[in-house]
Amino acid sequence: MSLVRKDKAERLVNLTMALLETRRPLSKDEIFTNVAGYSGTPEAMERMFERDKDDLRELNIEILVEAKDKYFDDEVGYRIAKNSFEMPDTDFDSSEIYWLSVAANIWRGAALENLAQDAIFKIQSTNADYVPLEPLASMPIIQTSEPIFYSLWSSINHKEMISFEYKGTDGVVIERNVAPHSLVSRRGHWYLVAKENSSGDFKIFRLSRFQSLPKISSPEKAFVISSDYKLANYIKDITEHLIERAEILIRPGSGSAIRKLGDVKNLDSGNIEWDLIQLNNIDFDLLVYNILWCGPDVKVIKPEILVEAVVNGLTKVLSEHSS
């Protein structure tokens, strides 16, 4: 199931092509009859069409409203002026295309990979002088949760109210109803900044804690983003999943992933069974995952919240295998 509402995306493409290719303005009845994607009651199709026009205009696609018959103006029709839709000729040098390619490759394996790669292919193919440059030694990659990321990205763009099941840091799963404002990546994880309907407060939701796919809760009504909203005011609050300091014992030769995250400290010279690992400002969920993966080769000394999380994780694994 895709939450990007593929039916809507396909309908927008169909509508765009129909209004571009028509030689005369199309009436609403002609659009509803001939453009795939419009269905339901006349009122429902009317609402769909109004939202679709708004979406296209947000993309700077100009929709002309004209009389269907030049001798009579009692019925209007719609079309798209091709000159407003076409992209002007743009010349990029090899260096500029290279850096655009780097930006596109950052989405490799993620939600927007196909869109990014298609755009770069078209740009490269129009430049006869393009010569591929040497790739970067280390190429960053944006990792996203599919289809949750793309769904949230779409709802943000269309200002759609959404609802979803979310597990808090206390482990309790409840339904959230929010107005999604921004997506932001911090320390390898994606977060949604959204305004809760019930309290009107802004909250931060980590995508990995979503327990269900988001649903559009009010498709007929788009929310409005306040002019004083600034993402920077909320980024600094993304700290709930970090452990400031942790100490873990690991058997020699084990836990290579955890060792890379911290510093190995020497224990008493007579203790050859364990190595002490000290970690600072480490992602909570990542650390718990790696500890559980190591099994009996790891012991958590502190903090207590980490000890409890590991115990709960082991208990859950045992219950799943015993049932």
Task: Kindly give, in sequence order, each residue whose CB lies less than 8 Å from that of residue 142, ignoring residues fewer than 6 positions away.
Answer: 106, 107, 110, 185
Record the tokens describing residue 24, joined without a space: 């005369």
Asked if pLDDT for residue 34 goes beyond 60, the answer is: yes
Side-chain half-sphere of 170: how many Cα atoms within 13 Å?
Answer: 3
Residues 319, 269: contact at Cβ < 8 Å?
no
In whole angstroms, give the CA distance from residue 195 to residue 176.
Answer: 10
Q: Which helix (H) or strand (E) holds 75?
A: strand 72-80
Asked if pLDDT for residue 138 goes beyond 50, the answer is: no
Task: Give tens-digit pLDDT for 265-305.
Answer: 766 655 678 888 998 877 777 788 888 888 888 999 988 88
Task: Find the mean pLDDT for residues 124-135.
Answer: 52
Asked if pLDDT for residue 130 goes beyond 60, the answer is: no
Q: Which pLDDT score is estimated for 136? A: 47
Record the tokens describing residue 132, joined without a space: 């591929």
Task: Taking each helix axis as running N to C, give the angle between helix 113-125 and helix 94-105, from 0 to 180 degrees, rounded to the nearest 10.
Answer: 170
Residues 102, 139: contact at Cβ < 8 Å?
yes
Letter string b/e over residues 249-288, b meaning 16 or more CB atoms within 10 A of that residue's CB: bbeeebbeebbebbeeeeeeeeeeebbbbebeebbbebbb
Tell whether pTM > 0.85: no
In whole angstroms, give the CA distance from residue 306 to residue 285.
Answer: 10
pLDDT over 70, % of the chain: 68
Q: Which pLDDT score is estimated for 104? A: 60
CA nearest to 282, candidates 253, 302, 312, 296: 302
In whole angstroms, give the CA distance from residue 148 to residue 261.
Answer: 28
Task: Give tens-digit pLDDT for 206-236.
Answer: 888 888 989 988 766 778 888 888 887 777 6
Task: Find the mean pLDDT for residues 26-49.
Answer: 88
Domains and CATH numbers, the chain: 6-85 (1.10.10), 89-143 (no CATH), 148-235 (2.30.30), 242-322 (3.30.70)
In whole angstroms, give the CA distance from residue 301 to residue 153.
Answer: 40
Which range among 6-15, 100-109, 222-231 has the greatest average pLDDT?
222-231
Asked if pLDDT for residue 182 goes beyond 50, the answer is: yes
Instruction: Give the number of other CB atoms < 10 A from CB of residue 186.
Output: 16
Pick 251 or 154 by higher pLDDT.
Answer: 251
Task: Kindly give, in sequence order, each residue whose CB lies less than 8 Å from that of residue 299, ignoring residues fewer than 6 positions away.
Answer: 248, 249, 274
Q: Which pLDDT score is estimated for 266? A: 67
Which amino acid belongs to residue 302? K
Q: Which pLDDT score is estimated for 289? A: 80
CA nearest to 150, candidates 213, 217, 238: 213
Instruction: Give the number of other CB atoms < 10 A from CB of residue 190.
Output: 20
